[in-house]
Amino acid sequence: MTFDFIRNSLLLLFSSVGFSLLGETNFSKQTIDLGLVVSDLNKSLDFYKEVVGFSEIEGFEVKGTFPQAVGLTDGAPLDIKVLVLGDAETATKLKVMQVNSQKVAKEISQPFIHTITGFSYITVFVKDVDQVLDNAEKKGIRPYAKSPQVLPEGFPQDLCLLMLKDPDGNFVEIVGPNTKLLKIQK
């Protein structure tokens, strides 16, 4: 089975199960956008674009009293860069921002995904994990722990997971076909 076939089958299964159990939903989109506050915007944009492979589209600013009125910031304006995983209107959007506020953001050490509660990682499905590995090496970024590894038993054995950390230490899972090295080790 190919990676695309498995992914598309799972998407079809989960979307059809959701609709059949819940009937019509109130969602106007079937994807979510994820906001990511970073400590160094340029380093983070470089990582997500040059290593992972996101593309940047037109971003936006949120100024005036709105950010504070809805609880986004303490009044600091937002300049949001938008990264996408493709050209489709429904492509996942990662909204990356560095907030210049009077209050300094806390840096949290996260050695494992269960170290803190809340969103702990993102998963990006790719067609070529070796390409992401090469991109990471060019930027001096090493795989986290002992990754990449073939997915565990019970999952497709032709897929692997590469774990990276972005410049702020956030986990980024890269899932795709086994790397050349993993194919040889089989």
Parts of the chain belonging to CATH 3.10.180.10? 31-101, 109-186
Classify the C-alpha dihedral 58-63-69-73 as positive or negative.
Answer: positive
Higher pLDDT, 16 or 164: 164
pLDDT at 12: 47
What DSSP state is assigned to residue 52? I
pLDDT band at residue 27 under the 50/70/90 scheme: confident
| Structure confidence by residue, pLDDT tens digits, 129-177 | 999 999 999 999 999 999 999 999 999 999 999 999 999 999 999 999 9
Residue 13 pLDDT more than 50? no
pLDDT band at residue 6 under the 50/70/90 scheme: low
Q: Does 31-101 carry CATH code 3.10.180.10?
A: yes
Which residue, among 130, 136, 108, has the nearest Cα to 48 in the 3D structure?
136
| Structure confidence by residue, pLDDT tens digits, 31-50 | 889 999 999 999 999 999 99
Residue 8 pLDDT more than 70? no
Q: pLDDT exceeding 70 applies to what percent of the chain?
A: 88
Cβ atoms of 156 and 175 closer than 8 Å: no
Residue 20 pLDDT more than 80? no
Pairing relationship of beta strands 55-62 and 33-37 according to DSSP bridges? unpaired
Cα 67–Cα 69–Cα 71 angle in degrees, nearest 5:
65
**The domain 109-186 is classified under which CATH number: 3.40.30.10, 3.40.50.150, 3.10.180.10, 3.30.360.10?**
3.10.180.10
